[in-house]
Structure 1
Amino acid sequence: MSTSTTSLPLSGRVAVVTGASSGIGAASAEHLASLGARVVVLARRADRLADLVARIGKDGGTATAVAADVTDAAAVRAAAERVAAEFGGADLLLNNAGVMLPAPIEELAADQWKHQIDLNVTGLMNAIGAFVPQLVAAAAERGVADLVNTSSIAAQNIFPNFAVYSGTKAYVTHLSRHLRAELGAKNVRVSALEPGIVGTELQNHVTDQGALDWLEGSRESIEWLTAQDVARTVGFIASQPPRVNFQQVTIMPTGQPA
Structure 2
Amino acid sequence: MNNRVAVITGASSGIGLATAKLLAARGAKVALLARRKEVLDQAVNEIRAAGGEALALAVDVTDQASVDAAAAAVESAYGPANLVFNNAGVMLPGAIEARETAVWEQQIDLNVTGVMRVISAFVPQLVKSAEQGATADLVNTSSIAAQNIYPYFAVYGGTKAYVSHLSRHLRAELGPKNVRVSLIEPGITETELQGHWTFQGAKDWIANAAENMAFLQPQDVAEVVGFLADQPKHVNLQQVVVMPTGQAT
Please indicate, yes or no, whether the TM-score normalized by the shorter chain is above 0.5. yes
CA distance in structure 2 between the aligned counterparts of 1:57 and 1:235, rounded to whole angstroms? 19
Q: Does 1:171 align with 2:172?
A: no
CA distance in structure 2 between the aligned counterparts of 1:232 and 1:60, rounded to whole angstroms? 19
The superposition leaves residues 1-52 of structure 1 with CA deviations (integer Å, 9 ceiling, x where unpaired) of xxxxxxxxx1111000000000000000000111111000000000110011
Give the number of equivalent residue pairs.
249
CA distance in structure 2 between the aligned counterparts of 1:62 and 1:34, rounded to whole angstroms? 9
TM-score (norm 2): 0.99
Q: Does 1:96 align with 2:87?
A: yes
CA distance in structure 1 between the aligned counterparts of 2:88 and 2:51, rounded to whole angstroms? 25
* Unpaired runs of at least 5, structure 1: 1-9
CA distance in structure 1 between the aligned counterparts of 2:112 and 2:26, rounded to whole angstroms? 29
Match of 1:136 among 120, 127, 135: 127
CA distance in structure 2 between the aligned counterparts of 1:95 and 1:64, rounded to whole angstroms? 17
Measured after TM superposition, the shift of residue 143 of structure 1 is 4.2
CA distance in structure 2 between the aligned counterparts of 1:128 and 1:121, rounded to whole angstroms? 11
1:17–1:108 CA distance, 2 compared to 1 (3 A)? same
CA distance in structure 2 between the aligned counterparts of 1:55 and 1:249, rounded to whole angstroms? 29
| RMSD, aligned CA | 0.6
Match of 2:197 among 194, 197, 206: 206
TM-score (norm 1): 0.96
Measured after TM superposition, the shift of residue 142 of structure 1 is 1.8
Q: Does 1:242 align with 2:239?
A: no
Measured after TM superposition, the shift of residue 144 of structure 1 is 2.1
Task: Give matches, 1:216-227, under 5 Å.
Answer: 216-227=207-218
The aligned amino acid for 2:220 is: D
The superposition leaves residues 224-248 of structure 1 with CA deviations (integer Å, 9 ceiling, x where unpaired) of 0000000010000000000110100
CA distance in structure 2 between the aligned counterparts of 1:114 and 1:163, rounded to whole angstroms? 13
The aligned amino acid for 1:106 is: E
Aligned to 2:12: 21
Measured after TM superposition, the shift of residue 85 of structure 1 is 1.5
CA distance in structure 1 between the aligned counterparts of 2:46 and 2:210, rounded to whole angstroms? 28
Q: Identity across aligned pairs (percent)?
A: 61
Q: Does 1:188 align with 2:179?
A: yes
Give the secondary-structure state (helix, strand or coil) at the position aligned to 1:225. Answer: coil
CA contact (8 A) 2:82 2:134 kept: no
Measured after TM superposition, the shift of residue 84 of structure 1 is 1.5
Q: Does 1:148 align with 2:139?
A: yes
Measured after TM superposition, the shift of residue 140 of structure 1 is 1.0
CA contact (8 A) 1:143 1:187 kept: no
**Stretches of 4+ moved more than 2 A in 1?**
none
